[in-house]
Structure 1
Amino acid sequence: MLRLPNPDGTTRAYRPRTVPRAFAAGAPLASRTVFSAAHVVADPYADTDPDSPAAVDWDATLAFRRHLWAHGLGVAEAMDTAQRGMGLDWAGAAELIRRSAAEAKAVGGRIACGVGTDQLPGPGPLSGRLTGRAGLDAVRAAYEEQLALVEETGSQAIVMASRALAAAARTPDDYLELYAHLLRQAAEPVVLHWLGPMLDPALEGYWGSADLDAATETFLEVVAAHPDKVDGVKISLLDAGREVELRRRLPEGVRCYTGDDFHYPELIAGDERGFSHALLGVFDPLDPLDPLGPLAAEAVRVLDTGDTEGFRALLDPTVELSRHLFRAPTRFYKTGVVFLAWLAGHQDHFAMVGGLQSARSLPHLARAYELADGLGLFPDPELAAARMAPLLAVYGVTR
């Protein structure tokens, strides 16, 4: 029995699950392409401070990716789930991309890697020193450097939304011009990534307008002008209706990858006019928790048979956990992701680069544990409870 804290300062008794949920191993996924945006495992013994470069445990980080590939999932590398722009700098991200791409080749895993501009200063310094054409030229050069590295590794490129571009651009035409240049340069079709301000406040007004209808038109104009260079688009706006409307307007052959961690079952299931593939941060904590067959992958295998109801029956119950992890301020969802990976036994510690393990409260973490345990997502419930107990004790909660 554990005592878990409530937001009002009281505690409640909780009896952990004793039997894990089991899934049979299955065939490769067929009807949907599913990428898990994987997190990085920090080195807990590194002597670092908030201004130091990220210290990564490379062995544990790559082992985590091998686990995802083993279950038929693609890895979306060096995305925001990997603390890109929140503890992992460009030098660390570049090393992560190189190592993961080499590992993907060795095991035959699918990989796509984030291309951004985070070697530039943050939005404040950029807006003060590199505005107008100088700022846009700096953004273009940064994107080009990262695109070249990703393509050199043989990985697919995911062109991420850029804080620096949001600071430097003044009109929708600035976006249209810069993205047209990048897409012409890309050797293979890329995924275009639209991350909303709820996930990164510095991206407010992306595509040249804070009005999402106007921004959507600019985004679709970019895609329509270069359909041969766009494999798909990743939409992370947490607005299911807008995603459905947008995907129905994509050129033929251009995929929609949902990044909506609030409505993913219905978006992946789709309707009579189409569906979304998936590139999700929530699939990072959900997928690795069961060694015999990750929950999300098992759900898609059910969908492969045409059983939409069975798919929803498996995945719908996970939405409450996902919405909890991505609760505002949403950008700190990464803390819950790593917390669950630790409880599940996929890393030996609850430490994050930049000390981000402190970004969520104990009641928030306790509820994440309770929801995951209730779903049977821990391969070893006793281990999860044994790790939860001393964490609670550190905060003064005892049995």
Structure 2
Amino acid sequence: MQYGILQFDDPQPDTSRKILHVDMDAFYASVEIRDQPHLKDKPVVIAKHPNLTNGRGIVTTCNYIARQYGIHSAMSSMEAYKRCPHAVFISGNMKHYQEVSNQIRAIFYQYTDLVEPLSLDEAYLDVTINKKGIKSATIIAQQIQQQILQELNLTCSIGISYNKFIAKIASDYHKPFGLTLVTPEEALMFLERLPIEKFYGVGRKSVPYFHDKGIKTGKDLANKSLEELERDFGKMGHSLFFKVRGIHNSPVRPTNERKSIGKETTFSQFLEFEPQVLEIFDQLTTKVIDKMQSKGLKAHTITIKIRYENFETINRQMQMKIAFDDRVLAYEMVQNLWAIHGHLDYRIRLLGVSVSNFDNPDYELIRLNLES
């Protein structure tokens, strides 16, 4: 495979690090199945049953049996029900999932303090220098897998490589309970064989535009010049030019600052009817998603805030395995949270919507010229 020649001042791959990307397998569903063993051989969907929400709601995640019916994250719960009427629908318990996530991270910290959580169920670990004094990153990955299985009765898949980008792709390569090592010597061939949609950051909506430009695999991507990729895909094209060459030198950031984007409004005349509430939520969601998109971000978590006339305040959130930046999906999530947690026993004096738990943005969203 012939790659374009890197210039002297271009970044070079830092192959000195040993990076793990640990990704829990169908995390929320797996926790439910662990806690309720009779669910083991049944399709399990983390979403409130559509019969209880007048058809509203979306799937947070599901187990691998449910995925055989074509069910996936962000699908409407009604569509999931149509595809598998006998599935077990569970509304989910985010507080419990957070507790289990903390137990998993406690295991990570037994090996290294360089832990960068991406969401409740995945994290990067830099084990180049580790607390166990183990030279092999593969042995550390195996020990983490077995420790999580033995102590928490849950499985994870782990990608191992010299940078975060390749490690994240590798963790998805052999699921569930997989372990995939990509060495510096293997990296270019590994990336060359990947479909373009497997490159972290290339969303489903972007794939047709890559195909239109003749880019269906990593090999196709590597055959494009930097100028071509920047012209067609902007900063994302610049980033992918180097990533397909195995260059992504971003360090594991253990002190990643928790950030959010939110909007809330207080009413001089309190709300007392559901159509008013939903209209305001729609407006707030639109403003928040527009702001998030303008920053080139995608979030895993959306939160609603409700303050009643008696000053009772509730904050409820929903977390998605797949990061989102779509307004329609975000509003469906907000509606779902309201349907489950909201009430009009008292009038409402404040509503708020926020998004958080962002993917680490290495580049901004593609800005496509649809007229060309």
Q: TM-score, normalised by structure 2?
A: 0.30
Q: TM-score, normalised by structure 1?
A: 0.29
More helix by share: 1
Larger C-alpha radius of gyration, 1 or 2? 2
More strand by share: 2
